[in-house]
Structure 1
């Protein structure tokens, strides 16, 4: 028998507010039928709106952007990781429709912005006081492992295979690569996204600078 993910219907009295009225944090349908969504356990039975509102209170100032010219399936994986690290927002550059399969519905709990062109993203970031930092293994790129990422930045990822477009690279303050020690030429775009976002989290949430150590 396959183990079911999530929790069964709520048992016992329904959650209420101090005045005895039903707690609007909880979804009556999920309480009755169980919650099988891909959410952390402390969000079980919560409404979608309540989860998003709670995430908004603790989002990191990090943004991520992905170029979407080829409907790359890795986009969904990058967006799922962005949810795991609770970034401020994710940005899709190029085609508005993107391959959501790998996101596993996690995009519903995030804030999405679409930019039809690279120039549009660059203008938006400049107005917000954010720096574009590209992630790609190209000549002249800098090692991510020794780079002090700015707190207010947009980590930009390209397509699996071609990587960042020339136009996007020209708009980034720096291009960073992930150090590799094997025979493969590059790391999968989804994996690279996870590594880069985790590097930001280590620096700005846990205070582990790659240059000076613990802050």
Structure 2
């Protein structure tokens, strides 16, 4: 019998070969540091800047760094109709580029496996349908840009993405729904030079977020 239950979420991908051990020397007098991590070591999937920090402290710092690049704003929306395994990968990419908000559109439960628990440090919200996402973007003055190689799309590499933007991605295979396309102000596609018809959804998200970051944030400002 085929089970309809969702797969269990993976544990934090930690082991003794990564991260750092117990904090050497006197502990820092800083509320951002977690006493348990200082004592036992920090094997989490975080950059060195955040070693031994509590999760709320990391989230607060990410929020503050994002404020530093205002008025540039980036949110990401992902359609979740098929429990696509690529959603987790796209969320992990969104974390890497410190996006403001990730919208899961459609089914509330999504495949977290590829996120490698990076969603714990992100603001992730659920939108029941395309109209709910469009209403949010209108209220927040964000331009919805769909990413799909559909008729009417323009090349990503020759298009300047809006400064205040919500990049919208579809499910692997079918891509964006017609209803979502209707809500987007424009469509962009990544030019290809081989025989494959389309990019993997996770790869497309990484390329597009990187393009927006180069234009509106820049590697140096993101890393500050």
Q: Name the TM-score, length of structure 1 as normaliser.
A: 0.91
Structure number with larger C-alpha Rg:
1
**Which runs of structure 1 show a deviation greater than 4 angstroms over 4 or more consecutive aligned residues?**
none
Q: Distance in 2 between matches of 1:206 and 1:114?
A: 29
Q: Which runs of 5+ in 2 are unaligned?
A: 1-14, 220-224
Q: Distance in 2 between matches of 1:132 and 1:27?
A: 39
Q: Distance in 1 between matches of 2:175 and 2:165?
A: 19
Q: Deviations over 1:28-66 (max 9, x none)?
A: 110111000000011000000110010000126100000
Alignment match, 2:23: 10
Q: Deviations over 1:53-101 (max 9, x none)?
A: 1000012610000000100000010110111110111000001100000
Alignment match, 1:119: 131
Alignment match, 2:107: 95
Alignment match, 1:54: 61
Matched-pair contact (CA < 8 Å) for 2:20–2:43: yes
Deviation at 1:139, TM superposition (A): 1.3
Deviation at 1:206, TM superposition (A): 2.9
SS of 1:133's partner is strand
Q: Distance in 2 between matches of 1:132 and 1:175?
A: 9
SS of 2:65's partner is coil
Q: Distance in 1 between matches of 2:129 and 2:84?
A: 17
Alignment match, 2:145: 133
Q: Distance in 2 between matches of 1:117 and 1:201?
A: 27
Q: Distance in 2 between matches of 1:126 and 1:3?
A: 47
Change (3 A) 1:35 1:3: closer
Alignment match, 1:212: none
SS of 1:134's partner is strand
Aligned residue-pair number: 200
Deviation at 1:11, TM superposition (A): 1.3
Deviation at 1:3, TM superposition (A): 6.7
Deviation at 1:123, TM superposition (A): 0.6
Q: Name the TM-score, length of structure 2 as normaliser.
A: 0.87
Q: Distance in 1 between matches of 2:202 and 2:128?
A: 22
Q: Distance in 1 between matches of 2:83 and 2:182?
A: 22
Q: Which runs of 5+ in 1 are unaligned?
A: 17-22, 208-215
Change (3 A) 1:14 1:3: closer
Q: Deviations over 1:136-173 (max 9, x none)?
A: 01111110010011110100000000000000000000
Alignment match, 2:194: 182
SS of 2:210's partner is helix
